[in-house]
Amino acid sequence: MKEVKDKKDFALPEIVLIGLNHKTASVELRECIAFSEEEAATTLEALHGHPVIREVILFSTCNRVEVLLVSDNRSEAVETAKRLISEYKTAPIDSFDDALYIHVGDKAIRHIFRVVSSLDSMMVGEPQILGQIKGAYRAATEIKTSGVILNRLLHRAFAVAKRIRTETGIGDHAVSISYAAIELGRKIFGTLGEKKVLLIGAGEMAELAMEHLLRNSVGEIFVSNRTFERGLELARKFNGQAIQFEEIENCLQCVDIIISSTGSPDFIITRDQVKKAIRKRRNCPIFFIDIAVPRDIDPKINRLTNTYVYDIDDLKGVIDENIKDRNREAVKGERIIDENVIQFRHWYNNLDVVSTIVALRNKLDDIARVETKKTLQSLNHLSETDCETIRRMTNAFIKKILHDPTLFLKSHTKHDPKTICLDVTRKLFKLDE
Amino acid sequence: MEIFINLTILFYTVSATGYVSYLFFQKKSFHKSGYYLLVAGFVCHFTALGYGFIESGHLPVRDLRETLMLTAWAVAGVFLAFQYKFKLRILGIFAAPLTVLIMVVASQLPNDPLQAESLFNSFWLIFHVLSVLIGDAAFALACGVGILYLVQEHSIKTKNRGFFFKRLPSLELLDSTGYTCIIVGFTLLTMGLIGGIVFAKSIWGRFWNWDPKEVWTGITWLVYAVLIQQRLTMGWRGRKAAILSIIGFAILLFTFFGVNFLLQGHHGEFTKF
């Protein structure tokens, strides 16, 4: 019963998460609190230097700033984190205190799983967050501010994120204009493989759409711009061919996908032009993506056979629907997270000194009992007292063997947590099975 | 014999249920079970037909009941072949229920086959009947693909991406499958017509009798010929091709049923009920 009495001295530290995100803080505030990589590194070291904080990782993306830490003294750790953030970002604590959330234990574990799996993102299922968290984690491991507990937690979180991505459809449906356009293209053409694309005008969104198309390996590319020089520049960028603005009408005969985003107040392509072109191209389908406002492509073209026109509002409509689908899938993700929180909690609870020593002794006792029994069965000539002596001897062995490791694991000081040794012990003797 | 027919209907029905569930729940297992059940039904049906053929010594097309059952078998067979080639799973929601419908209707019809004449043993007649029926089955599938095409095109055009958008394949795949169905159907129909003409010559001494069935078959043949010719020369694809394959199938249905019920002719005997 001695162990139980000791328990208080070896109490497990707590996992604490403190932070703010797009749901609790305005974009101005997030901008003000966001950390650059160097800032994050110095802040991490400062946090880690504090005696109550054993392990710490800091995430800072455009939608969230969060500090994940392991501490024996929750309230002091939280105060320290707040104070350091306020000092480094020269912002008074009052300015961001209301936006902060603090999660402890299971809640913190669940929160980190949700963040990494992109269930807590502004756009549920967006894939960048995983890379961002991996980067922040790497930064923390480089300066060794993360230890056994957070390493395990983050690795588990990455595994959970992967599982959610493969088992649910949270990443399935296109939620950006360019992805939506490609999805539609696939529904019309089947594969985009040899389809020719014409880009009319320049603009960030049009170029983004073009890059997505390129990644999906389309066929030949044509670029047309009012100023031919700019057109040439873009053509070089996309490895395509620049054509004059006047040539667009002829070009309609051969291209299959047209992305348009010019600043023109009038339609660039009219219904009559397309009608003629469609006849010449023997009714092969043609797909217009009109990203311009005001529009470049006459919407009446959509009524012609085998032509499909999607403008920016249509594409936004597609995206809204897909977001609804993703949110439905996210529910399945939550279930996977629940499972993993329980598993992690199990591992974490066992990381305690007392339970490790007990588990170790039980394991050795079991082995000794089985082996002595086997041996005694073949030694029939021994009397009951002899057997008892042998049993006592094996017990003494175990006691002697375990004496030093037990002392070592118990010799726990504030700055030398035995979590690493505990973890190694559990692995070495396979105590978690 | 009867047990095999009932078993076939059962297989086809469960298969159709599988395909319809696939449409709604998009689970691969539903489509797979639909497919294998249809294969089972097809084999079972083949056994029934083979048994009938050996027992009577005639191709089982001696009344409407038998003809319809042979047609259902052809539809199942052609669908399985196309499914194997094009992987157009969703077409099952058209083909499987169609086989069930035909079988159920057929099984309700009286079973009194035309008394055997040597007519039914001729190679040319068997060739004629099988080619035409398999060709008809291919046209039925073309019609189904055409309907799916129009549904999918409608959802893309109106930007109303509802239930079907996600579930139906790309327009390109639907269009090319439909075209292949038409080509296969047309080839078989042409071969069947030649078989019929040769047979007519051997029985009645004339190639062409201006019988209503013959005339309407000629019209059907022309419609599909126009469709193919327009596609090759003018590039009639997509919507127009889809609509025309549906119209073509409507005319074909009239040729199959209407002529026998409304008009008179020498084919009437085989499809009486």
Say what the pLDDT of residue B273 is. 41
Is A69 a residue whose pLDDT tops 50? yes
Say what the pLDDT of residue A104 is. 92
Q: What are the C-alpha distances in Å from A100 to residues A19, A24, A112, B51, B112? A: 5, 7, 15, 80, 85
A308 touches chain B (CB under 8 A): yes
Nearest to B234 among A282, A285, A305 (CB): A282
Please answer whether residues B223 and B247 qualify as being in contact, where contact means their C-beta atoms are separated by less than 8 angstroms.
yes
Say what the pLDDT of residue A93 is. 87
Based on the domain organization, do B109 and B164 belong to the same domain?
A: no
Based on the domain organization, do B9 and B116 belong to the same domain?
A: yes
Higher pLDDT, A3 or A170: A170
Out of B89, B121, B153, pick the residue that ends a domain: B121
Based on the domain organization, do B211 and B114 belong to the same domain?
A: no
Out of B121, B144, B169, pick the residue that ends a domain: B121
CATH number of the domain within which B56 lies:
1.20.120
Residues of A in contact with B239 (CB under 8 A): 305-306
Based on the domain organization, do B137 and B93 belong to the same domain?
A: no
Which of B167, B172, B175 is the best residue to mutate to test the A interface, defined by the most A CB atoms within 10 Å of its own CB? B172
Say what the pLDDT of residue A394 is. 92
Q: pLDDT means per 10 residues in chain B (273 residues)?
A: 84 90 84 90 89 78 81 91 84 89 85 59 82 92 93 88 81 91 94 88 78 84 91 85 92 82 60 45
Is A261 a residue whose pLDDT tops 60? yes
Say what the pLDDT of residue A417 is. 61
ipTM field: 0.82
Nearest CA in chain A to B170: A187
Residues of A in contact with B172 (CB under 8 A): 188-190, 285
Residue A211 distance to chain B (closest CA, Å): 23
CA A159 to chain centre: 10
**Residues A291-346: tens digit of each pLDDT:** 887 888 998 999 888 899 998 888 888 888 788 888 888 888 899 999 999 989 88
Burial per residue of A246-260, b for 16 or more beta-carbon CB atoms within 10 angstroms, e otherwise: eebbebbeebbbbbb
Among A23-32, A95-104, B135-144, where is mean pLDDT lowest?
A23-32
> Structure tokens of A372?
């002595």
Task: Establish whether A32 is a catalytic residue.
Answer: no
d(CA A304, CA A275): 7
Q: What is the mean pLDDT of residues A13-29?
A: 89
User: Which among A354, A355, A414 is positioned nearest to A54, based on CA atoms?
Assistant: A414
Residue A283 distance to chain B (closest CA, Å): 6
Residue range of the domain that includes B12: 1-121
Based on the domain organization, do B54 and B173 belong to the same domain?
A: no
Residues of A in contact with B160 (CB under 8 A): none
Higher pLDDT, A175 or A128: A128
> Structure tokens of A260?
């348009």
Out of B86, B121, B156, pick the residue that ends a domain: B121
Residues 6+ apart with CB under 8 A from A3: A354, A357, A358
d(CA A142, CA A376): 55
- CB < 8 Å & 24+ apart, contacts of A265-271: A265/A294, A267/A295, A267/A296, A267/A297, A267/A298, A268/A200, A268/A296, A268/A297, A269/A296, A269/A297, A269/A298, A269/A301, A270/A298, A270/A301, A271/A298, A271/A300, A271/A301, A271/A304
CB contact (8 A) between residue A187 and residue B152: yes
Local structure of A15: helix, strand or coil? strand
Nearest CA in chain A to B163: A321
Mean confidence (pLDDT) of chain A: 86
- Helix axis angle, A177-189 to A204-215, nearest 10°: 50
Give the E-state strand segments of A45-186 in sequence order.
53-61, 64-71, 101-104
Say what the pLDDT of residue A5 is. 38
Please answer whether residues A160 and A340 qualify as being in contact, where contact means their C-beta atoms are separated by less than 8 angstroms.
yes
Based on the domain organization, do B110 and B33 belong to the same domain?
A: yes
Based on the domain organization, do B96 and B151 belong to the same domain?
A: no
Residues 6+ apart with CB under 8 A from A39: A88
A186 touches chain B (CB under 8 A): yes
Question: Which residue ranges form the domains of chain A, and what is each CATH number?
Answer: 10-167 (3.30.460.30), 177-319 (3.40.50.720), 353-428 (no CATH)
Based on the domain organization, do B149 and B211 belong to the same domain?
A: yes
The helix, strand and coil proportions of chain B, stated in percent and rounded to the nearest 5, come to: 80, 0, 20
In chain B, the number of structural domains is 2
- The size of chain A, in residues, is 433
**Residues A103-124: tens digit of each pLDDT:** 999 999 999 999 999 888 887 8
**Residues A192-236: tens digit of each pLDDT:** 888 899 999 877 777 877 888 887 778 888 999 888 888 888 888
Based on the domain organization, do B230 and B163 belong to the same domain?
A: yes
Based on the domain organization, do B128 and B243 belong to the same domain?
A: yes
Nearest to A188 among B161, B172, B236 (CB): B172
Based on the domain organization, do B90 and B207 belong to the same domain?
A: no
A176 touches chain B (CB under 8 A): no
Active-site entry in A32, A62, A251, A254 = A62
Contact residues, A window 270-289, toward B, CB-based 8 Å cutoff: 281-285
Based on the domain organization, do B26 and B15 belong to the same domain?
A: yes
CB contact (8 A) between residue A318 and residue B157: no
Nearest to B170 among A190, A284, A305 (CB): A190
Please answer whether residues A282 and B231 qualify as being in contact, where contact means their C-beta atoms are separated by less than 8 angstroms.
no
Residues of B in contact with A193 (CB under 8 A): none
Q: How many CB pairs under 8 A join A and B?
A: 49
A184 touches chain B (CB under 8 A): yes
Determine phi and psi for A359, rounding to 5 degrees. Answer: -65, -40
Residue A313 distance to chain B (closest CA, Å): 10
